[in-house]
Amino acid sequence: MALAGCTGALSTLDPAGPAAAAIAELWWVMLGGAVLIFALVMVLLAGAFRQRPPPEADEARLLRVWVGGLGLAFTLTVLLALFAYGLWVGAQLKPAASAQVVQVQAEARRWSWRFRYADRPGYSSENLLHIPAGRPVDVAIRSADVVHSFWVPRLAGKLDATPGHVKVLRIEAAQPGRYAGQSAEFSGPGYLDHRFTVLAHDAAGWQAFLAGEGP
């Protein structure tokens, strides 16, 4: 049962793109650090329930080693390492300039998503986002009413759609296919159906879409 959430259309642990893979790796690294700290705490706790206390001199030495050296130094080292790694991953997720980037606009409203494409002017799609597989896509996210949240778990992290602001999220699908997305922000009755699909085309399919041959 614990492993059932590791796969599926909305699983963050089943990445299908570089950004989602970096987020999943960060999750596993943080889980590993938490397990190390938890194991140390359990060892210290077990030691506290020993039946016979050690001599006073040995007790002072053990306190310095276990509480000072391991309980504090080890824990702080692990936490600082996780913090530094998290900052590094966050910096890697920032959109970087590239000639291969596809530009898309996403507008959220109760209860749908409207997508427009810089490479196909005048065309828009509702609740279906078309992207090319293997290329980065910058999604300019905005809201027409209240706060929503753009989230495609297998492709990238989530980003809120805030009225009056435009925020850019970079997504990328490694392989052609369909990827589930939804709003991850409670915005009133009906938000559970505020979902959309990302359709990643292969090279031929993307050119056909741009030529107006697709939906």
Give the mean model confidence (pLDDT) for residues 197-213. 93
Which domain-ending residue is among 93, 114, 135?
A: 93
Question: Does 15 lie in the same domain as 69?
Answer: yes
Which residue would you say has higher pLDDT here, 56 or 87?
A: 87
Question: Does 203 lie in the same domain as 128?
Answer: yes
What was the pLDDT predicted at 99?
Answer: 63
Which domain-ending residue is among 31, 58, 93?
A: 93
Highest mean pLDDT among 29-33, 75-79, 112-116: 112-116
- For 7-16, the pLDDT digits (tens) are 677 888 889 9
Q: How far is CA 88 from CA 24, 26, 35, 84, 153, in A?
A: 14, 10, 21, 6, 20
What was the pLDDT predicted at 12?
Answer: 81
Q: How far apart are CA 150 and CA 148, in angstroms?
A: 7
Q: How far is CA 174 from CA 9, 79, 155, 199, in A?
A: 15, 32, 9, 12
Query: Looking at the predicted structure, is the pLDDT value of residue 3 above 70?
Result: no
Residue 122, in any domain of the structure: yes
Which domain-ending residue is among 72, 93, 114?
A: 93
Lowest mean pLDDT, pick from 86-100, 117-131, 137-151: 86-100
Residue 4, in any domain of the structure: no
Q: How many domains does the chain have?
A: 2
- For 20-35, the pLDDT digits (tens) are 999 899 899 999 988 9
Range of the domain at 65: 10-93
Query: Looking at the predicted structure, is the pLDDT value of residue 76 above 70?
Result: yes
Q: How far apart are CA 115 and CA 122, in angstroms?
A: 11
What was the pLDDT predicted at 54?
Answer: 56
What was the pLDDT predicted at 73?
Answer: 78
Give the mean model confidence (pLDDT) for residues 164-181. 94
- For 82-111, the pLDDT digits (tens) are 898 888 888 777 777 666 899 999 999 988
Q: How far apart are CA 73 and CA 76, in angstroms?
A: 5
Question: Does 81 lie in the same domain as 19?
Answer: yes
Query: Looking at the predicted structure, is the pLDDT value of residue 57 above 70?
Result: no
Its sign, for the CA torsion 192, 102, 204, 213, is positive
Residue 188, in any domain of the structure: yes
- pLDDT band for 123, please (50, 70, 90 cuts): very high
What was the pLDDT predicted at 50?
Answer: 67
Buried b (16+ CB within 10 A) or exposed e, 144-161: eebebbbbbbbbbbbbbb
Give the mean model confidence (pLDDT) for residues 147-154. 93
What was the pLDDT predicted at 31?
Answer: 92
Residue 23, in any domain of the structure: yes
Residue 3, in any domain of the structure: no
Which residue would you say has higher pLDDT here, 16 or 186?
A: 16
